[in-house]
Structure 1
Amino acid sequence: MMNNLLFVIAQTQTNPLMTFLPLVLIMVVFYFFMIRPQMKRQKELQKFRSALQKGDKVVTTGGLYGRIVEIKDSIIFLEIAPNVKVKVDKSVVLKDISDAPQQK
C-alpha cells in the first residue's frame, strides 16, 4: 500500500519544463507556419503598392480590372473602360495583371 502511494506521488511531481514544453512547441510551430508567412505576404503587398506607376494594369479587391491613369498619395484613379475612371484607395489594389495572358 505504501509502495503504491509513493509511486503515485513520484509520478505527479514532474519537471515544470516538461509541462510547458508542448505549449512552447505549439507556439513555435504556429509562428513559423501561420504568423511569419502572413507577415511576409503583407510586406510584399506593401512593397508592390508603393511601386505602382501610371499605366500599370491592376485588379482591386472588389474585382475591378483597370489601368492606372493617375496616382495621388493613397488615391489611385483607374480607367476601367474607355473614358470611365474610378477613384480607389491604394489599399484595395491586389495585384498587377499586365503580365497575365489576355483573353479575347
Structure 2
Amino acid sequence: MGQQLMGILPMLLVFVAFYFFLIRPQQKRQKERTQMLSNLKKGDKVVTIGGLHGTIVDLSEEKVTLKVNENTRLVFERSAINSVATADDAAATKSAE
C-alpha cells in the first residue's frame, strides 16, 4: 500500500503543479478576454490582434466596425479585438502628459 502511494505521489504533485502554473492562469485569462469582448461599446478605443488602432463606431454580436481615420471604417470579427482603452482612459492619459 505504501509503495503504491509513493509511486503515485510524484505524478499527483506534477499534475497539481501543472494546474496551478499553467491551466488555472490560462482559464483566468480566457475568462477576462471573454468578459472584455462582451463589454465592448461604441466609442471604445481598441487595438486589433493585427495591431490596428481604431475607435468602435458600430458593433453587433459578431462584427465590430472601427473608425481608423476620418474616411476609413473597417469591419472586423469581434474576436479580432485584442485590447480596449475606453475614452475615459485615453483622456486621463492625455491630461497626464
CA RMSD for the aligned pairs?
1.6
Q: 1:97 offset after TM fit, Å?
A: 2.4
1:97 paired to 2:88: no
CA distance in 2, matches of 1:42, 1:83: 34
The TM-score, its normalising length taken from structure 1, stands at 0.80
Identity of aligned residues (%): 44
Q: Which structure has the greater CA radius of gyration?
A: 1
Q: Which has the higher contact order (CA 8 A, sep 6+)?
A: 2
1:1-104 alignment to 2 at 5 Å? 15-98=3-86, 99-100=89-90, 101-102=93-94
More helix by share: 2
Equivalenced residues, count: 90
Which aligned segments of 4 or more residues in structure 1 are displaced greater than 3 angstroms? none
SS of residue matched to 1:53: coil
Please, which runs of 5 or more residues in structure 1 have no aligned partner?
1-13
The TM-score, its normalising length taken from structure 2, stands at 0.86
